[in-house]
Amino acid sequence: MLQTLRWSAGRVASSLLTLLGVSILIFAAMRLMPGSIEDILLGPLASPEQKAQLAAEYGLDQPIMVQYLAWIGKVLQGDLGISVASKAPVLTEIAQRIPLTALLSGLALLFTLLIGIPLGIWAGVRSSGTKAGAFGRLISGLGISLPEFVLGTVVLFVVSRLTVGLQVGGFSDIGMSFGSTLSALLLPAMVLSVFTIAATARTTRDAVLNVLVEPHIGAAVARGESPRHIIRHHILRNAGVPILTLLATITAYLLGGSVIVEWIFNLPGLGSYMVQGLGRRDFAVVQATVLFNAALFITVSLVLDLVTSTIDPRVKFRGKASA
């Protein structure tokens, strides 16, 4: 018990240090971009007095370490700053965009579960020199290697010229019913889920293959158990940890990695909000969205490690061996 608590405390501490490092990197990166913040906000024709007034207002006349400490102190109090473009609190704007990104990611995760895991099981069980196994490997390889921006652009081009019952563009978060919102997000979710389906199928296939060589599988076959019973009670139970690990990582990826899909389909989610902030050099928006996505990914990874260490205590010892 004491050993488990020490390991868990170490994982929490390393996660907090990682998040601290991300905050320092993004803060420094925004300050190292070409051009001064005063010129970006006021334009090149602003007078020195106007620039000095703005620098004093935003604390830009302070040393960078003082600026960072002031910013991270406000972040810890729930103040993510004010957007330069909209003059609205960044936290409020992020809260308005999270539901759309969460729904988009949820649909993509649903497609991943319904297609990726069954495809991986099918490819693993029938992989022994069969065309089915080769087909499964081909599909997963194509899905992993195909860039989202290429797939999204092609799909958008093709579907916009065909009548297939899928809504393309025209998304508005004002007055849309839940059904209309789902219809508008269905195609983007399909594009977003291609990579995760392929990655899940490949991981599931490999996990199934590793379990199939175990002696208890042969014993189950010798006892005359049905293939469905063997898959459900022997293969999935023993292959669950690597699949669970990947699905938790995919969940964080979908929530924070939908930037390209939201931009292609013009969806007002968290990803497109970050892209807009980058285009406008809106420092508060970029810093807040990057830090939020990093915190989300680190939190999911931490929870995953704690859950898998409970399911499979060998995780703690593997972590020690690799350290």
Containing H/E element for 309?
A: helix 283-311
For residue 45, the surrounding DSSP H or E stretch is none
The winner for highest mean pLDDT among 69-78, 226-235, 276-285 is 69-78
Q: pLDDT by residue (tens digit) across 256-312?
A: 668 888 888 888 888 888 888 888 778 889 999 999 988 888 888 888 777 777 766
Kindly give, in sequence order, each residue whose CB lies less than 8 Å from that of residue 275, ignoring residues fewer than 6 positions away: 259, 262, 263
Other Cβ atoms closer than 10 A to 211? 20
d(Cα 168, Cα 264) in Å, to the nearest integer? 11
Report the mean per-residue pLDDT for the chain. Answer: 79
**What pLDDT is stored for residue 5 in this prediction?**
78
More confident residue, 162 or 18: 18
Q: What would the two tokens of residue 218 be?
A: 């042969």
- 101-146 pLDDT per residue, tens: 888 999 999 999 999 888 888 887 776 556 666 666 777 777 777 7
Residue 321 banded pLDDT, cuts 50, 70, 90: very low
Per-residue pLDDT reduced to its tens digit, 56-69: 777 777 888 988 99
Predicted confidence (pLDDT) per residue in 93-111, tens digit: 999 888 888 889 999 999 9
Q: Which pLDDT score, from 0 to 100, does residue 238 have?
A: 72
Task: In the chain, list all ranges with CATH 1.10.3720.10.
Answer: 90-322
DSSP 238-305: HHHHHHHHHHHHHHHHHHHS-HHHHHHTT--SHHHHHHHHHHHT-HHHHHHHHHHHHHHHHHHHHHHH
Domain 90-322 has CATH 3.30.300.30: no
Residue of 218 and 186 predicted with greater confidence: 186
Q: Is the pLDDT of residue 21 over 90?
A: yes
Q: Are the beta carbons of 287 and 27 closer than 8 angstroms?
A: yes
